[in-house]
Amino acid sequence: MADLADVAWAVDRLGEAEILLFHCTSAYPAPVEELNLRSLTALRERFDRPVGLSDHSPGVQAACLAVALGACAVEKHFTLDSDAAGPDHAASLDPAGFQELVRNIRLTERTLGDGKKRSTPSEEDTRSVARKGLRTTRRLSAGHRLAPGDLTAKRPAVGLDPRVVDGLFGKKLKNSLAADQPLTEDDVE
């Protein structure tokens, strides 16, 4: 029910108090089309405060997406009977649903990782097959000076890394190489 001006007014009144800003769509249940979870990012960036989601949507997906968008807290209604009278029960999780929520949030957190881009241990077996190595495009004689049309990058990663290709142009071959042969350090002067 609040817009950005309402939040700004409240944050201004609270001054330097340590607060967590909860985004909430106050409908029971809240239609997923009206959740606007990207407002979590807007709130965090505008007010430099941690954010959370007060979730009245069906299921657990919105809460997991909120965590992926940086929410550090999720509030979800809990009920023992989702068919009970009153608006809260339809937007609430029963014990099994709450267990699913926690399990999926923990999975989301693990899936997000630490943000550092690197090869993972499970990729190592695939690396040599999926990466490429430099190969000759045609038969080349010993003494030949390498030029751009002489080399290509192909799977598997046998031969020199394609990232060094520009430094090879103009260098002489020590050995004659057949077409489609991997190029190694031993082949170049």
The predicted-structure confidence for 72-115, as pLDDT tens digits, reads as follows 999 999 999 988 988 888 889 999 999 999 999 999 999 999 99
pLDDT at 124: 86
CATH 3.90.1210.10 residue ranges in the chain? 127-187
| CATH class held by domain 127-187 | alpha beta
Q: Of the CATH numbers 3.90.1150.10, 3.40.1440.10, 3.80.10.10, 3.20.20.70, which one belongs to the domain with range 4-112?
A: 3.20.20.70
Q: What is the mean pLDDT of residues 139-152?
A: 97
CA-CA distance, 89 to 141, in Å (whole number)? 79
